[in-house]
Amino acid sequence: MGTGGEQAGKSNSVSMKAFGVILAFLGQYAGSGRAAGEVAWLVADNYELTAQEFGNLRDWLRTTPFKVRASKRVDPGEITDFIVKTRSSDSTQSLRAESPVVVMVCEAALVSPDAYERLRSRVGRARSMFPGYGAILLSGTLEGSLGWY
């Protein structure tokens, strides 16, 4: 969890943590083909709030030996080979059908407790199939907090 004042570097710090998790996952599973089709999610109250983190991951992943293609920055953004997707927590219905190996929640104070609980259930499969993965990384200020973050 990264929290603090405005423009304090939380987005960069938590993006770098997610980047490290993705690289470790790809290093461990890409050679065997098990990483194909697995995902990471960037989640926020709306797609715009994932733009900086998505841009960071896109730029950093382009410097790796893994095949990376950024189709869009936001709404929804996607980086492919291993897939990084943006998701809106505005509707918990968008938080389904996949089990991300890492979730990065941007401006977590704005995400509802229901969405957070949904994220906790979504990473369950990844935690069982890929021990050590299935993390949920939270970042943001406490501004606009709904009381749980």
Give pLDDT, residue 2: 47
Give pLDDT, residue 71: 54
Q: Whole-prediction pTM value? A: 0.81
Consecutive 10-residue runs of the chain (149 residues): their mean pLDDT?
A: 57 89 90 80 87 88 75 55 80 80 90 89 91 91 60
Q: Which of 142, 145, 138 is nearest to 13 (CA)?
A: 138
Residue 106, by phi and psi: left (phi above 0), alpha (psi -120 to 50) or beta? beta
Are 144 and 6 in contact by the 8 Å Cβ rule? The answer is no
What angle do the packed helices 51-61 and 10-29 form, to 10 degrees? 40
CA distance 24 to 101: 11
HSE of 30 in the Cβ direction (CA atoms, 13 Å)? 15
Q: Alpha helices of 30-147 — where are they, by DSSP H?
A: 51-61, 113-122, 124-129
Give pLDDT, residue 102: 94
CA distance 124 to 117: 11
Contacts of 8 (CB under 8 A, 6+ apart): none
CA distance 127 to 85: 19
